[in-house]
Structure 1
Amino acid sequence: MFKFIRVPRPALRRLSKAAAVATALVVMAPAQASLTNINAFLTCRHAQLTEFPGTIVDAAIATPQLSTLVSLVVAADLTGALSGKGPLTVFAPTNDAFAKVPAPLLDLIGSDPTLLTKVLTYHVTTRNADPRRSLIPSQVPSLQGQNLFLAFGAEGATVNQSVASCKGVKTTNGTVWLIDSVLLPQFK
C-alpha cells in the first residue's frame, strides 16, 4: 500500500526547477557533442584536395613523410601497378605510422615478398574512396581482397583503426590519403 506525502508548494516548485535543469543538461550534453562532431565532419569534408600533376607513385616519392612506404612499394615491385590507369585510392601510412609497427613484425613483412604485397595492396582500392564522407560506416574492397572500413567518428575520418588526413592528394590516376597507422589484413 502506498502512502502519499504532502510536499509544500514552494518546495515542489524548487524540486521541479531542479529536475528541469538536470534533464536539460543531460539532454543537451550529447546534442552538443554531436554538434561538435558534425562541425568537424563538415570542416573535414570540405577541405580541398591538393592537386599533384603526376601519378600516385610520383606523389609518394615527392612526399618525404612517405619514404618508408615508397621503399616498400619498390621492394614489392608495385610501382607499375600504382602508376597505371586509375582510379585508385591509396591509404598511405606515414613514416611515423611504420615506426609504430614492432620491429620484428616489420622485418617479417619486409622479408617476405608475398606477405609484403598482401599488406601493401590492402592499402589500395580501385574505387574513389573518400573517408571524409562516411558518417555512416561503409566498406570498400581492397586490392588484396579484404574490405576496408571507412567512417567519420570522434577521431575524425578513419580507415579501419587508422585516422586519415582531411586533406587528400589528387593525382592523375587517383587519390592519396595519409593515415597514421599501418593497416594489416587478417592473415589466414
Structure 2
Amino acid sequence: MKTLIVMASAVALTAATPAFAGHHGTSTIVETAVASPQHETLVAAVKAADLVDTLGGEGPFTVFAPTDAAFAKLPDGTVAQLLKAENASTLRSILTYHVVPGKVSSTDLIGMIEDNGGEARLETVQGATLTASLSDGNVILTDAKGGTATVVKADLEASNGLVHATDSVSMPG
C-alpha cells in the first residue's frame, strides 16, 4: 500500500503543472531553467549570483526551483534589490538554499518523508536545512524562517540532476 501511495503522489506531482515544456533531460539544470517561461526571474538571479557555471556543472544536483509567480510573492522591490551587484552574496545564499547535492526524485523524497515519521531534513548546498513533509499528497518544503513552498512540478530530468518547481521562494535563516 505504501508503494501505491508513493507512486500516486509522484504521478500527481509530475502531472501538476507544465513548468518546463519541451524538456527532454539532455539539458543542464541551467539550460532547463532558461527554456522554461515560468523561470525567467530564477534565471536572472542565477546569472546575477554568478551560479551559471556551478549549476551547469557536473552535479548531480536537485534544485527546488521557484517559479516567476513565487518570486512575485516576495515584498515589492525585493527581487530588484537582490539582483543588484552589491547583494550577490545574499542572492547566492538564497539560491544555494534551493539546491541539494545528489539526485533526489519525488519517489525518493516521499519515501524519506514516510521513513522519518513524516519529515525529511534536506541539507542544502548553502549549508542550512530544508524540511520536507507531505500535505494532501503534495510535498511541502519548510524553510528556516517557517515559510512554506509547495512542489508544483516534480522530477524534471536534467543531464546533471533533477528540478522540482515550487510555488514560493524558500529563505535561509
TM-score exceeds 0.5: yes
What is the TM-score of this pair, normalised by structure 2?
0.77
Structure 1 residue 41, shift from structure 2 partner: 5.1
Pairing 1:178–2:160 present = no
Structure 1 residues 166 and 60: CA distance shift in structure 2, 3 A: closer
Post-superposition Cα deviations, 1:32-82, rounded to whole Å, max 9, x if no partner, equal xxx9xx987542224669742110001000111001100110111100000
* Matched residue SS, 1:125: strand
Pairing 1:97–2:70 present = yes
Structure 1 residue 107, shift from structure 2 partner: 3.3
C-alpha root-mean-square deviation of aligned residues, in Å?
2.4
Mark the runs of 5 or more structure 1 residues left unpaired by the alignment.
1-34
Pairing 1:44–2:19 present = no
* Matched residue SS, 1:65: coil
Contact map agreement 1:157 1:166 (CA 8 A) in 2: no
Give the equivalent residue in structure 2 for 1:3.
Answer: none
Structure 1 residue runs of 4 or more that deviate by more than 6 Å after TM superposition:
none
126-135 vs 170-179, which moves further: 126-135
Q: Which amino acid counterpart does residue 53 of structure 2 have in structure 1?
A: G
What is the TM-score of this pair, normalised by structure 1?
0.71
* Matched residue SS, 1:70: helix
User: Superposition pairs for residues 54-93 of structure 1, below 5 Å?
Assistant: 54-93=27-66
Structure (1 or 2) with the greater strand fraction: 2
Higher relative contact order (CA 8 A, sep 6+): 2
Q: Which amino acid counterpart does residue 127 of structure 2 have in structure 1?
A: G
* Matched residue SS, 1:53: coil
Give the equivalent residue in structure 2 for 1:140.
Answer: 122
User: Superposition pairs for residues 97-176 of structure 1, below 5 Å?
Assistant: 97-111=70-84, 112-131=87-106, 133=110, 134-135=113-114, 136-154=118-136, 156-160=138-142, 161-176=148-163
Distance in 2, matches of 1:166 and 1:180, equals 9
Q: Which amino acid counterpart does residue 124 of structure 1 have in structure 2?
A: V
What number of residue pairs does the alignment pair up?
A: 150
Distance in 1, matches of 2:5 and 2:153, equals 10
Q: Which amino acid counterpart does residue 154 of structure 1 have in structure 2?
A: D
Structure (1 or 2) with the greater helix fraction: 1
Structure showing greater Rg: 1
Mark the runs of 5 or more structure 2 residues left unpaired by the alignment.
16-22, 143-147
Distance in 2, matches of 1:155 and 1:100, equals 23
Distance in 1, matches of 2:80 and 2:149, equals 21
Distance in 1, matches of 2:7 and 2:59, equals 27
123-132 vs 155-164, which moves further: 123-132
